[in-house]
Amino acid sequence: MFRQLQDMALFALVAECGSFTAAAKRAGLPKSSVSQRISQLEQALGLRLINRTTRQLNLTFAGERYLVHCQEMMQASDRAGQAIERLRENPSGRLRITSPAGIGATLLARFNAAFQLAYPDVTLEVMVSDEIRDLVQDGFDIALRTGQPQDSSLIGRRIGYCDRLLVASPRYLAAREPLLHPGQLSGHRCIAHQAWSEWVLKSQQEYYRWLLPPVHVTDNLIYARECAIGDAGITLLPRFLTDDALLKGELVQVLPEWKVEGNELWLVYPGRKLNSPALVSFIEFAMQSPVFGAFYR
């Protein structure tokens, strides 16, 4: 079928040029190859398309009718090329995005609002969940991930690094003895994210590892933050989820002299080559976005 489509285009070129020699030159093929392929096309159709003489060629009745359809095919090809060119100049179409819940409900929401103002013809389908989705199998164009992709078939672009803080409400802490060392955490209520069941803290050269008891576990960081604001205990959050609450006095930092390892934010997508203009625009916009840059550096 694909060979026949090529031969149809070649036949239309011969009819336009009026000779095999001129058509061969335009196509960059030997004259003998052009003549042979037109003959093969006629054999496949079971009808002669061109009457040949030593000086000229003329289309048969069947050739004239067939040429109409070949020209329609060529025009459709031209229209397809023009549509792709317009797409390059003005990105459009659908992007399917998956993101962790904490980032998706905050930073990604703010970023997408700005992105759609810049690219109004791109439609977005966003899945916000801490479940790690298979990009290829589930049909996603791009994912935000808090860590470098482990799958070697995926491409990753690092946006930056964000600190994580231990926080609790002032009321929760005021009702207890001052917390001066991580060893005292065992005497506190804590809200753990299921991905961070162990907290590793460092102060100068001292490390402290604490495996959280499964007393209060969640898969959603915004839930953990709201619980902490509601005096439910201590939790570990990325800085972008704490700044507003710290500024308002709803949360305070716990053990500020002890540092917890942060995490990196990556853009992950299936391939490096021939990506859609919408995806390329999304990646470039994200890499330069002040929304992410305020927290990930």
Report how far apart the first and last C-alpha atoms of the chain are (Å, whole number): 53
Output the pTM of the full model.
0.68
pLDDT of residue 86: 64
**Interatomic CA distance for residues 234 and 199, integer angstroms:** 12
CATH of 163-262, one of 3.40.190.290, 3.40.50.10800, 3.40.50.720, 2.40.10.330: 3.40.190.290
Query: Does 163-262 match 2-89 at the fold level?
Result: no
pLDDT of residue 21: 84
pLDDT of residue 271: 78
pLDDT along the chain (297 residues), means of 10: 80 86 86 88 88 80 88 83 68 90 93 94 92 87 87 86 95 93 93 89 90 90 96 95 95 95 91 80 92 88
pLDDT of residue 200: 92
Q: Per the CATH hierarchy, to which homologous superfamily does domain 93-161+264-293 belong?
A: Periplasmic binding protein-like II (3.40.190.10)
In whole angstroms, what separates CA 14 from the centre of its chain? Answer: 45
CATH of segment(s) 2-89: 1.10.10.10
pLDDT of residue 7: 80
pLDDT of residue 238: 94
**Interatomic CA distance for residues 292 and 265, integer angstroms:** 9
